[in-house]
Amino acid sequence: MGDAPARLGVVGAGTMGSGIAQLGCLAGMETFLHDPVADALARGAERIRTGLDKGAKRGRWSAEDARAGADRLRACEALEDLSPCELVVEAAPERLELKRELFGRLSEVCDEGTVLATNTSSIPVTALVSAAARPENVVGMHFFNPAPLMRLVEVIRADGTSERALAVTRAAGEAMGRRVIEASDGPGFLVNRCGRPFGAEALRLLAEQVAAPEQIDRVCRLGGGFRMGPFELMDLVGVDVGLEVARSLHSQSFGEARWKPSPLQERLVSAGRLGRKAGRGWYHYDDGPHRADDPDPPSPGGGEGRVVAIEGTGALAAKLRERARAAGWEAREPEELAGVAPELVVDTSVPAPAAD
């Protein structure tokens, strides 16, 4: 296991970059934040200070920790200011040539042992290796939005990544309080590969006019247990970012249909409706909440002694019988009906596979 770096560099002061830098500040690392756009750098630094203050007020860390974290932040106008860093995380827009140019320049200004990590969510990390002077120092370090709240980090080994680079990256993630997992360098890595179908199917439902974004999101929250629905997540990440990721996955899969971008994404991006950061995406983000609160689940009741048959022997069937009885139903298994006609039959058994 490697030691966490004492000095962390972050390139890109947007939502992701500032979130990663905030984690570095709280983890005790002297954190160097760079953005080539002066206004973006100032906004990113202010976002970090505001995030540290809010976290202290909500009891996530102490006011002393917030002040100490803010003191560790260095806003850097020049890329050369990142030269002392032992780990630099690139959080630039999802454009391959831009990232390759950054890795080339970072190789020139940083020490020979500096680990260069990319926060890309879709571009193969191996595609950046040849742009660096020392390919063995290149690694993927994929945070999730919002980085200060999401506990998972993917570490991705590119072709040629050294064990030392992996160890430094893992140690940095763990010092930030993240759960670090290692993922293969393939389209979408692991988490986005698993999550992509939710967003893609939600867009298909909307395109086919099955339901509105608000309805689809509510079904996912109430029925699936998600904290936010797919359209809310697209707005949080950025509709433009999601479109670029979809294009990247579609290209990497050589046109596989399941990764095809939706024309609806293209339409919103063309209209400037990029999500929360633009004030409008699938939802409007004005002064008030972007959606109504979800209703509380109804209180158990309504059975009034009526009979329901619940078939099955597993945990699901047992739980359903328990809940039905708590609501006043007389829950029975089918063999217990003895000629009584139930008002409802629920079959939880798994169908047997069809014979060849």
Residues taking part in catalysis? 121, 142, 154, 192
DSSP 217-251: HHHHHHHH--SS-HHHHHHHH-HHHHHHHHHHHHH
3-state secondary structure of 147: coil
The CA distance from 243 to 231, in Å, is 13
3-state secondary structure of 282: coil
CA angle (270 as vertex; 246, 249 as ends), nearest 5? 10
Cβ-proximal residues to 130 (8 Å cutoff; 6+ apart), any chain: none
Cβ-proximal residues to 120 (8 Å cutoff; 6+ apart), any chain: 90, 94, 99, 128, 140, 142
Residue 108 structure tokens = 């020139």
Q: Are 76 and 32 in contact (CB under 8 A)?
A: yes
Chain centroid, CA 37 distance in Å: 25
Residue 267 structure tokens = 């339409």
189 closest CA partner among 125, 261, 238, 284: 125
3-state secondary structure of 275: strand
Tokens 């309080």 appear where?
A: 177
Q: If you ran DSSP here, which 8-state letter would residue 280 be given?
A: B
Q: Are 27 and 61 in contact (CB under 8 A)?
A: no
Residue 260 structure tokens = 């095809």
Q: Are 32 and 9 in contact (CB under 8 A)?
A: yes
The CA distance from 275 to 235, in Å, is 4
Write the CA distances from 31 to 22, 69, 72, 86, integer angstroms.
8, 9, 6, 11
